[in-house]
Amino acid sequence: MDLRRRGTVFEPPSIRGVTPDSHDDESIGTDSHPVASGYFSNKLKKRAWAAENDEPPPRIRGQSESKDQEEVRQGLSRFTPQMMPSKVRPGETVKVQHSSPWRSFTKQFTLSLEDSVTIATRKGGLFVAVREFSGPDADQKVNMLQRVRKDNPTNLLAFLECFSFEGSHFAVFEHEIIRGEKLAVTLSHYALIQNDITESQLAFILRQILDGLKYLASIGFEHSALTCKNILISTEGSIRIAGQECCQKLESKRGPVRDIRGVGYVAMELMHKDAKYEGPIKVRDVSRWPLDSEAVKFLLLTATACSIEELEKRGPLLDTYSNPARM
């Protein structure tokens, strides 16, 4: 099933689920639509190659002539807002502002990820994602976001600001990491729109996920609801784990077992393009993923490991990508 929409002269191809908001008095800014499959695939291949060889990957003949890739490059270069630092620095608490978020931000469009989010901008700033929390557990969710955000870990989606207005909380998260690099799709979308993922790409993604989960465990929490739907991937291959409001306190007598099993199910979805988050963790296509491959060895290890450190020590798939500086 092809989820792509042909790009226009102003924007790259996108996935269904992006809905522009209508404004009579405001212009619709250029959004960060998800991009074509070849773009993500080649980005990750280039970065994985650099991690392994410390040199540029070989150029594929005809690759530069790809029409979709050229559209993506043109689309991303047409709108590059000035980078604006977050108001909140690492170690600072995100304070709740009792006002409407739309006095500070301009709505641009809505994006259907795991939940519907509003992508917005502040004049001269980067794109951000705004999620609304309402109901009796809204305060609890914001409190958890504040606790997790304390040290501003790299592979968790950055919680930037919070507003309280008309009975709801509006949490503001990063959407554009740096100028031009946007968190375009979830891993669920990524698994569907690209060609079969390579072992190097899989390792590159899983390494970043484990780094985020390792941070949570270090402060006594586990995500507890990890799926491809709440993990975002940027146009440059950067990973951000969302859904931190679901985090739960780790039981003292065990490690983050639910998160480790979650990593296994995430790997299964990426390897087989099929979401299955219950039942045994196993390889379902041995012709595509031989039983003696490092990817399968790692996958099976997630079914029994009790700590992230055990995955790191016994999972040779991750060896090449153990140094974050080389990613």
Please give the pLDDT value at position 103: 95
Q: Which residues pair with 111 in a beta bridge?
A: 18, 117
Q: Worst-scoring range by mean pLDDT, 83-92, 190-199, 224-233?
A: 83-92
- The closest alpha carbon to 305, from 242, 236, 272, 258, belongs to 258
Please give the pLDDT value at position 45: 53
155 or 112: whose pLDDT is higher? 155
255 or 133: whose pLDDT is higher? 133
pLDDT band at 91 (very low <50, low <70, confident <90, very high): low
Residue 221 has pLDDT above 50, yes or no: yes
Residue 126 has pLDDT above 70, yes or no: yes
Q: What are phi and psi of 60, to 5 degrees?
A: -85, 130
Contact 271, 197 (CB under 8 A): yes
Please give the pLDDT value at position 210: 96
Residue 77 has pLDDT above 50, yes or no: no
SS (H, E, C) the chain: CCCEECCCCCCCCEECCEEECCCCCCCCCCCCCCCCHHHHHHHHHHHHHHHHHCCCCCCCCCHHHCHHHHHHHHHHHHCCCCCCCCCCCCCCCCCEECCCHHHCCEEEEEEECCCEEEEEECCCCCEEEEEEECCCCHHHHHHHHHHHHCCCCCCECCEEEEEEECCEEEEEEECEEECCEEEEEEHHHHHHHCCCCCHHHHHHHHHHHHHHHHHHHHCCEECCCCCHHHEEEECCCCEEECCHHHCEECCCCCCCHHHHHHHHHHHHHHHHCCCCCCCCCCCCCCCCCCCCCHHHHHHHHCCCCCCHHHHHHHCHHHHHHCCHHHC
Please give the pLDDT value at position 267: 97
**Could you tell me what percent of the chain has a pLDDT over 90?**
57
Write the pLDDT tens digit of every residue in 18-34.
444 544 444 333 344 44
CB count, 10 Å around CB of 279? 8
Write the pLDDT tens digit of every residue in 267-306.
999 999 999 899 999 999 999 999 999 999 999 999 999 9
Residue 60 has pLDDT above 60, yes or no: no
Please give the pLDDT value at position 40: 55
Please give the pLDDT value at position 56: 47
Q: Worst-scoring range by mean pLDDT, 7-11, 13-17, 25-29, 235-239?
A: 7-11
Please give the pLDDT value at position 34: 44
Residue 235 has pLDDT above 90, yes or no: no
CA 303 remoteness from chain centre: 23
Highest mean pLDDT among 52-56, 111-115, 130-134, 250-254: 130-134
Please give the pLDDT value at position 42: 57
- Which CATH number describes the domain made up of 183-326? 1.10.510.10
Fill in the amino acid letter for 277: Y
Please give the pLDDT value at position 314: 84
278 or 17: whose pLDDT is higher? 278
Please give the model's pTM, rounded to 2 decimal places: 0.73
Q: How far does the chain reach from its first CA to its final CA, in angstroms?
A: 31
145 or 92: whose pLDDT is higher? 145
Calculate mean pLDDT across residues 138-153: 89
pLDDT band at 90 (very low <50, low <70, confident <90, very high): low
Which residues, 6 or more positions from 21, have their beta carbon under 8 angstroms from its beta carbon?
28, 107, 108, 109, 110, 118
Highest mean pLDDT among 45-59, 156-170, 183-197, 308-322: 156-170
Calculate mean pLDDT across residues 68-75: 38
